[in-house]
Structure 1
Amino acid sequence: MYLGLTAMKEKSIAVVIITNGPGELSTWVRPVVDYLNKINDTSKNIDKLNYSIRLVLVPCPNATGKEYEVAKSWHKFELVTEAKTFWKLLIRPAQYAKWPKKGIVIFLGGDQFWSVLLAKRLGYINITYAEWISRWPRWNNVIAAMNKNVKKSIPSKYRYKCKIIGDLMADITNKKEIALNLEEKKWIALLPGSKKAKLMVGIPFFLEMADHINKNNKNINFIIPIAPTTSTSEYLFFQSNKNPISKYYSSKIKQIKQIKNSVFDYVIETSNNTKIYLINKHPCYEVLKKCDLAITTVGANTAELASLTLPMIVVLPTQHLNVMNAWDGIFGILGKISFINKFFTFIIKNWYLKQKKFFSWPNIKANKLIIPERIGNISPKQIANEAIFLIKNKNYLSEQKDNLSKQRGKTGAVKKLAYIIFNSIKKFS
């Protein structure tokens, strides 16, 4: 079955990107693809390369299921395959497209083993971006490492394959300035999540938290950057009685109104008349950069906020752990085993949470607490009070901003990886 433009030109080189969730798609895949095309577009005619970029989504408990539609809407890939078809693709690649003899499989999210498998199946070389560890160096042709620690962890006989390029997240830029009317108010960005299980808890929790903040400080505005994998209709659903978690929280959405001629697309008005502005554009770094503070769930978004040096509070309300079957890591894996969900919830609360040192990307990378993590049976009011305290005490926000800045890697990783891919394609020409 051939879809659209999947019958490639005879001498074309296949560039196949493996990825999984929304964070990797927007902060790793898209920038690298854009820079690779930029290199080729600015090359002289004799140096231009004939390649085709394909995106293969792989199974992942942290994916939302909407990555396929988002990736296709960018119109950057000749072919996009869904995560649910990965095994069929692996067994019968020709069912989805013609595959040239020469190509590259690039790992940019998910499990590194998937890219090794697909590269072997197609007979292509493999390039792996290793953020924390290179798991299969023996079968990697090139390892693009985030830092020297990744290289040190590779067995010595394979280290020659490794090139330290830096942190892809560090290349998140804020070149575009916007005319955001602050009205002498402070701005807090709310990131309740993008996956169903996160939104089940996040929407009711964050609505009530915003109401508490607004009740005590009218000088604060709120924004929510809507993830491309979710929508306003889901916000309405998860604050309603259809969501069993909503009964534990009193705040509701009174209405969601569309806004015209504004940087924002919608405004939520709660039952307590708190206004929360929504922005559909993704990524919306230029808006986030204007904020004073972010309150977020755990996940890849903590890395994005850190790259913007935006102070944050990370929350994980474990009183609803039994429904968190799409949270990161062990939460997502164990939470799907429904008949022993209660047992694993007990184990996670009483052992795993006590054993695990940090949950957010900045703290994991720094190996110390540089941003507050509020894990446990926490209430919206507690987080609201902490947010108000931080907003009133600029020294704390400045200190956090400085610490985030120190942890941010040097820029240029996207460019370096794009050139590794470009030069690898050239070798085939």
Structure 2
Amino acid sequence: MNPEDRSENSAGGSAAERAAIVLVCNGPGELATWVRPLAQRLHRDLALRPLQPEAPIGLQLVLVPCPNATGSEHQVAARMQLFERILPAGRFWWLVLRPRRHGPWPRRGVVVFLGGDQFWTVLLSARLGYRHLTYAEWVARWPRWNDRIAAMGPTAADRLAPRWRSRCRVVGDLMADLSEASRAERPLPSGTWVALMPGSKRAKLQVGVPFLLEVADRLAALQPGCRFLLPVAPTTSVPELLAYAGPANPIAAHYAATNLRLEPGPEGQELCTAAGTRIVLVEQQPAHGVLSQCALALTTVGANTAELGALGVPMIVLVPTQHLHVMQAWDGGLGILARLPILRWLLGAAMTAWRMRHRGFLAWPNISAGRAVVPERVGTITPAEIAEEAADWLLHPQRLEGMREDLRSLRGQPGAVAALAGMVRELLPAATGDAA
């Protein structure tokens, strides 16, 4: 029996006498940076199942359909061991149509939006008859049906019509707490560490793994003192990373760093390229502690950039567009069409090329600041170009420190996770009775 199936069967007992907190999420980035910290905080503040089996309140997770998801988010969530019940995205519509198919549901509870399409949480909270709390990064799309809105900042709060603003509270950026939590992790050995972050989805890994491996080889030749680490995303594995660097991945033939070997090292498993570059694999999740000690990160777009920004890690954001036919990891209806077997090659390439020509900022720190805080390199970029740029940054630590300070200034004050957990508690029936 799968972990999520076991957790569904654990919600027995007298459902009418119990309550539920249901966190709703879509992808691996949100799971790591929003869901996990809030779930840990709720367990710290309240007696919750499954950590306290006799508690009257259960903590549950519902994953919603999303074209950017990997399909293995429920497995990642199960390994956290924080949730009484986990519903994979593929079961979402059955949950809405027939909730009791997945076991008994308490009569009262709170649904919390933490990623995906906000409408799914509106629908789910209405179907279950639960109160509804939305964490809004930039905009709350359905304020009429939100009991409360937790805004990341004034941007989301100011977009609300005056009639809904009494429901809103600015709690701050949930990622601002990441750097505080990371300090308990082990220190890295001395050296200039560079993080390689190829992404977590197949479309990104196909390009990102061979591209960054060649960058590492070239950067090691330019800066022999460099040391490299690669956090293994929870939705992938070491064997998959090896496969993306080998003949099974047609993109790998365009790059030099192939024939990887997996070898033991003092810090754990290491990838060793044919040129002799050694890359420490970080399989512990989350990897915030080791990432926060890196001088520089080379990363794809996505949640990585928000995570690195919250940790104050200087970065170069990479979007090599020479492989457009595999870069269909976009959202929305067109993203779904681009993944259909007949249309994916033509429409996917055309759509991605259009978005590259009409793009704004792609990295989250730049989007948040409205200016170029971290460099974005988009186009037919080469590993040689990126290695030279990375070497130049490393030769000028004062410039890296300036970028780090800019990122820290965007991060905001810690405390958003505690504030959001407080709003969840306020909505719980046990704390507020039946008041709206």
Q: TM-score, normalised by structure 2?
A: 0.92
Change (3 A) 1:428 1:77: farther
1:423 has 2:426 as partner = yes
2:237 aligns with 231
2:263 aligns with 257
Moved more, 112-121 or 236-245: 236-245
1:309 has 2:317 as partner = no
Alignment of 1:152-163 (within 5 A): 152-163=158-169
TM-superposed deviation, 1:347:
4.8
Question: Could you tell me how far apart the structure 2 residues matched to 1:145 and 1:317 are?
Answer: 34
TM-superposed deviation, 1:155:
1.5
1:45 aligns with none
Moved more, 411-420 or 30-39: 30-39
1:196 has 2:196 as partner = no
Counterpart contact for 1:21–1:67, Cα < 8 Å: yes
Question: Could you tell me how far apart the structure 2 residues matched to 1:316 and 1:189 are?
Answer: 16
1:144 aligns with 150
Change (3 A) 1:354 1:8: farther
Change (3 A) 1:192 1:219: same
1:16 has 2:19 as partner = no
Deviations 1:53-100 (A, max 9, x none): 110011111111111111112221110011111111110000001011
1:175 aligns with 183
Question: Could you tell me how far apart the structure 2 residues matched to 1:303 and 1:329 are?
Answer: 21
Deviations 1:149-179 (A, max 9, x none): 1111112211111111010011112231524
TM-superposed deviation, 1:209:
0.8
What is the RMSD of the two structures over their aligned residues, measured on CA atoms?
2.0
Amino acid at match of 1:427: T
Aligned identity (percent) is 42
TM-superposed deviation, 1:342:
2.5
TM-superposed deviation, 1:331:
8.1
Alignment of 1:384-395 (within 5 A): 384-395=387-398
Amino acid at match of 2:202: K
What SS does the aligned partner of 2:322 have? helix
What SS does the aligned partner of 2:306 have? helix
1:402 has 2:405 as partner = yes
User: Which of these residues, 7, 11, 23, is aligned with residue 6 of structure 1?
Assistant: 11
TM-superposed deviation, 1:276:
0.5
2:51 aligns with none
User: Which of these residues, 374, 382, 399, is aligned with residue 371 of structure 1?
Assistant: 374
Change (3 A) 1:347 1:118: closer
Question: Could you tell me how far apart the structure 1 residues matched to 2:268 and 2:331 are?
Answer: 29
Deviations 1:192-243 (A, max 9, x none): 0111111111111111111111122211010001111111100111111111
User: Which of these residues, 62, 78, 86, is aligned with residue 72 of structure 1?
Assistant: 78
2:130 aligns with 124
2:58 aligns with 52
TM-superposed deviation, 1:344:
4.7
Q: Which runs of 5+ in 2 are unaligned?
A: 49-53
Question: Could you tell me how far apart the structure 2 residues matched to 1:179 and 1:191 are?
Answer: 19
Counterpart contact for 1:198–1:327, Cα < 8 Å: no
Counterpart contact for 1:322–1:335, Cα < 8 Å: no
1:342 aligns with 346
What SS does the aligned partner of 2:318 have? strand
Question: Could you tell me how far apart the structure 2 residues matched to 1:89 and 1:357 are?
Answer: 37
1:274 has 2:274 as partner = no
What SS does the aligned partner of 2:93 have? helix
Change (3 A) 1:237 1:327: farther
Change (3 A) 1:332 1:312: farther
Question: Could you tell me how far apart the structure 2 residues matched to 1:152 and 1:177 are?
Answer: 38
TM-superposed deviation, 1:148:
1.2
Superposition misfits of 4+ residues, deviation over 6 angstroms: none
Amino acid at match of 2:384: K
Counterpart contact for 1:178–1:286, Cα < 8 Å: yes
Question: Could you tell me how far apart the structure 2 residues matched to 1:6 and 1:111 are?
Answer: 26
What SS does the aligned partner of 1:209 have? helix
Q: Which runs of 5+ in 1 are unaligned?
A: 43-47
What SS does the aligned partner of 1:90 have? helix
2:39 aligns with 33
Counterpart contact for 1:105–1:115, Cα < 8 Å: yes
Q: TM-score, normalised by structure 1?
A: 0.93
Counterpart contact for 2:64–2:116, Cα < 8 Å: yes
What SS does the aligned partner of 1:282 have? coil
Counterpart contact for 2:245–2:260, Cα < 8 Å: no
- Count matched residues: 418
What SS does the aligned partner of 2:139 have? coil
Question: Could you tell me how far apart the structure 1 residues matched to 2:209 and 2:121 are?
Answer: 35
Question: Could you tell me how far apart the structure 2 residues matched to 1:205 and 1:331 are?
Answer: 27
What SS does the aligned partner of 1:214 have? helix
1:89 has 2:92 as partner = no
